[in-house]
């Protein structure tokens, strides 16, 4: 059993790491000399991603050397035997960052026995630090946050994203995007999954869904939304499977409605 005191300690470690990485991300803003492609077209990585991740790894190795780590740019570190797995996205919104579109965060979540329990997300562009731990609430810049009250889809503003494999599969979220655009006041696409989850957690947006997502994108944001009073599941409302790549996160009130609409999305060919 992890005590509340331990959760608080882990949250402080995550906070130290996101803030240290944030300073690095800020230091390279507008100064990138080279932007690499990782394989798929448009799947970018920069020196800011790499150095921010290295800094986070340093902080974790100082405080929790025996925990496992799954980091976007380094992969799995450790022997996968620990109950504790840190899921790290050193720069979530790399495409935005590379284009100097100021919409990116640093996201660090801690899974304990496979379940997200602690999360810290820092948005250096809004200077917003989001923190949450299971049972201990969610905050933005140390003030408690809550999800929105929006009661139904027709009054909602949603957000989604499109994974890097979108050109290779017909399961690319385009049909869902069209369907929900018609049923709501709008669907946004920020380009940063963890930013989307912070915006749901503090009530700026009413719901978020995405496919093809990785655990480092969402581990912190899941705890944040749930601790802010929202709901996070698979598309069909069943418990979230971190490895499934599909997530539905809402203010809770319109969760069932959004789930139903995702499941009955008509094919793209029905849109003109």
Known binding residues are 72, 89, 91-92, 217
* H or E element at residue 188: strand 186-188
Q: Which residues contact 205 (CB under 8 A, 6 or more apart)?
A: 148, 157, 158, 159, 188, 196, 199
Question: Among 1-9, 70-78, 116-124, 242-250, which window interacts with Ca ion (CB under 5 A)?
Answer: 70-78
Q: Which residues within the stretch 94-113 sit at the binding site for Ca ion (CB under 5 A)? A: 94
Radius of gyration (C-alpha) of the chain in whole angstroms: 18
The reply on whether position 89 binds Ca ion by CB under 5 A is yes
* H or E element at residue 164: none
From ligand IPD, Ca ion, none, interface partner of 230 (C-beta below 5 to 8 A by class): none
CB of 266 to Ca ion, least distance (A): 29
Compute φ and ψ for 5, nearest 5 degrees: -60, -45
Tell me if 216 sits within 8 A of 107, measured CB to CB: yes
Which residue's C-beta sits nearest to ligand IPD?
161
Rank residues 68 and 217 by Cβ distance to Ca ion and give the closer one. Answer: 217
CB of 177 to Ca ion, least distance (A): 19
Nearest to 220 by CA among 198, 239, 237: 198
Nearest to 258 by CA among 205, 222, 213: 205
The reply on whether position 196 binds Ca ion by CB under 5 A is no
Residue ranges for the binding site for Mg(2+)?
72, 89, 91-92, 217
CB of 185 to ligand IPD, least distance (A): 21
Rank residues 210 and 227 by Cβ distance to ligand IPD and give the closer one. Answer: 210
Rank residues 210 and 226 by Cβ distance to ligand IPD and give the closer one. Answer: 210
Distance CA 106, CA 20 (A): 10
Rank residues 116 and 161 by Cβ distance to ligand IPD and give the closer one. Answer: 161
Question: Count of CB atoms within 10 A of residue 80's CB?
Answer: 9
DSSP category for residue 2: -
How far is the CA of 172 from the CAs of 39, 59, 93, 209, 247, in angstroms? 18, 36, 18, 12, 14
Binding site for ligand IPD (CB under 6 A): 89, 92-95, 161-163, 191-193, 210, 212-213, 217
From Ca ion, ligand IPD, none, interface partner of 212 (C-beta below 5 to 8 A by class): ligand IPD
Rank residues 196 and 226 by Cβ distance to ligand IPD and give the closer one. Answer: 196
Binder among 92, 206, 210, 226 for Ca ion (CB under 5 A):
92
From ligand IPD, Ca ion, none, interface partner of 207 (C-beta below 5 to 8 A by class): none
């Amino acid at each position: 059993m992890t005590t509340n005191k331990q959760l608080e300690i882990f949250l402080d470690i995550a906070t130290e790491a996101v803030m240290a990485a944030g300073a690095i991300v800020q230091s390279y803003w507008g100064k990138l000399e080279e932007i690499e492609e990782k394989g798929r077209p448009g799947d970018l990585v920069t020196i800011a991603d790499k150095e921010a991740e290295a800094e986070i790894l340093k902080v974790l190795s100082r405080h929790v050397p025996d925990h496992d780590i799954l980091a976007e740019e380094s992969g799995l570190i450790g022997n996968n035997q620990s109950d504790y797995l840190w899921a790290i996205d050193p720069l979530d919104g790399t495409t935005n960052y590379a284009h100097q579109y100021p919409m990116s965060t640093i996201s660090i979540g801690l899974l304990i026995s496979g379940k997200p329990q602690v999360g810290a997300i820092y948005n250096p562009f809004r200077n917003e630090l989001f923190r949450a731990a299971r049972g201990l609430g969610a905050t933005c810049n140390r003030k408690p946050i809550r999800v929105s009250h929006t009661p139904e889809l027709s009054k909602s503003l949603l957000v989604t994203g499109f994974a890097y494999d979108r050109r290779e599969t017909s399961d690319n979220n385009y049909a869902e995007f069209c369907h929900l655009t018609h049923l709501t006041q709008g669907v946004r696409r920020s380009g940063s999954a963890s930013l989307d989850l912070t915006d749901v957690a503090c009530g700026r947006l009413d719901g978020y869904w995405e496919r093809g997502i990785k655990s480092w994108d969402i581990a912190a944001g899941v705890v944040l939304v749930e601790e802010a009073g929202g709901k996070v599941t698979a598309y069909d409302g069943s418990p979230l499977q971190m490895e499934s790549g599909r997530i539905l996160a809402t203010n809770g009130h319109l969760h069932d409605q959004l789930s139903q609409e995702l499941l009955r999305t008509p094919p793209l060919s029905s849109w003109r």
